[in-house]
A and B are shown apart, each in its own frame.
Chain A
Amino acid sequence: MSAPIVLFDVPGPRARRVSLVSSIIAGVLILAGLAWIALTLAAPRESGGITLPGYFDPSRWDVFADPLVWERLIFVGVVGTLAAALTASVFAIILGIILSLLRSSEIAWIRRPTAVVLEFIRGMPVLLMMLFILLVLNTGAFWAVVAALTLYNGAIIGEALRAGLASLPRGQREAGLSLGMRPLQSKMLVEFPQAFRQMLPIIVAQLVVLLKDTSLGFIVGYSELLRIGMNQLASFYGNRYLLSFFVITLVLYLAMNLSLSWFARWLSKRTASKSSGKVLPPDDPGRAVLMAEASAASKQTPKF
């Protein structure tokens, strides 16, 4: 349905003119809305008898001339966020691989408990897990953040890989077994590498979620970008800089997350054109896992 032209007749000159005019009107309205926001922010404001300058005044931004601010933001904030995200990613992928193998085991008493544990972890807020690890295991904020993110994202990556394993053609496994491989050998040498390659875009998309979720560390007291930018620096320099710090923090987050999501999208396009298979939506890992699971389930009960 990417071509809406099917739904109605080809637009004539009048319909195209109407479309162009409404496009311009809507554009003007959007710009007017943005201009209104900008003017509101630019206006000087009264606060407890003192008149503060508007938000575009240089005095609202002069803290960023101080290299010390950038040092804190980049070398403590961004590095803290990236360190937690990177550590958690590595552990989450390892955990995901182990969980997917346990979950697709032939032995029922390994497979069933793993499924229950996975459901349990996937249904719980990450924040609650962080609090649990922080209070019960007393690990310190960094490892609470890393461990909770590892558990949660490892569970999702595990489900994704399991769905990838289940959706492979049965002939792959049969070919492995008929060459004399043991079931485990066939799984590790034949099936798993294919499933991993197929699910790689989903895994990277899940890592974007992981990177975003490191900001939950703010609530359990880990010094990452949000805590450094919005809490420490903004309260040190005072409320008049709060919005400026918010803008800078937002830009830093967007720069990190957007580049990783674009990488995920590029990866999924490359994978799709190589295997000419179904394109799984890379933007929504949860949905992609759901689709892969469903198609795997439909493959296992062939309908004639």
Chain B
Amino acid sequence: MDAVIENLPTYWRGFSMTLFLLGVSGASALVLGTIIAAMRISPVASLRAFATVYTEMVRNTPLTLVLFFCAVVLPTIGSRLDFVTAALIGLSVYTSPFVAEALRSGINGVPVGQAEAARSVGLGFGQTVGLIVMPQAFRMTIPPLINVFIALTKNTSVAGGFFVFELFAASRELANANGDAVIAILLAAATLYLVVTIPLGAIAAQLERKWVVQR
């Protein structure tokens, strides 16, 4: 326990980097994922095909390989990114298809009858989408999106294996330095991850339970 308290600054340094990775790559994955989802449901066939291939490929590539590419292979091709930027790019690219699928499943989850009803009372395209479809799609999208962010929180730990000093790297370093208190040190790191993931999970389950009854 003493080893944990002594090293609180190191934990904090790692944890703030984890939160930084989560925030920045979460936001850019949201933007990238929205673009992919829009391509996926657009009437333009070539964009649809591109988005489908992208989703399938990225989702079936291990995150470790994606980060390896960004941190080790890209510099040999000539990129001059530092490791944090490389990890941010890797995490955003890896997370974007999951965001896109969550959005798409939300929009697909709205029954066609809703749009038909809106059209038959005389609403135009903008009104149908803005007033009827999107509000319902939105509430079906939030719980899976929260799930994606929980997964992203846990995935930031992989960046610790590629030269980024975040919570996992911090706890590995501390564990190596304090061989007699490995259990306490790793449990403290686990607690910090749980501080983020468990409340998010509780919110997702709560929202899903609240909204499933209304459907």
Contacts and interface: CB of A to CB of B under 8 A. Distances in A.
B20 interface: no
Interface string A277-296: 00001011011001101110
B47 A250 contact: no
Contacts, number: 192
A1 B194 contact: no
B143 A253 contact: no
A230 interface: yes
Nearest to B176: A135
A230 B72 contact: yes
Given A124-B154, A216-B158, A27 B46 contact: yes
Nearest to B172: A131
Contacts of B56: 258
Nearest to B153: A125
Contact of B63 (A119, A120, A212, A283): A212
Interface string A21-32: 011101100100
A257 B60 CA distance: 6
B1 interface: no
Interface size class on chain A is 35 or more
Contacts of A1: 107-112, 115, 133, 137
How many chain B residues sit at the interface, stated as a range, is: 35 or more
B46 A23 contact: yes
B23 interface: no
B64 A216 contact: yes
B37 interface: no
B121 interface: no
A6 B119 contact: yes
Contacts of B61: 212, 250, 253-254, 257
B209 A294 contact: yes
Interface of B: 41, 43-47, 50, 56-57, 59-65, 68-69, 72-73, 76-78, 98, 101-102, 105, 107-112, 115-116, 119, 125, 128-129, 133, 137, 143-144, 147, 150-151, 154-155, 157-158, 160-161, 168, 171-172, 175, 182-183, 186, 189-190, 193-194, 197-198, 201, 204-205, 208-209, 212-213
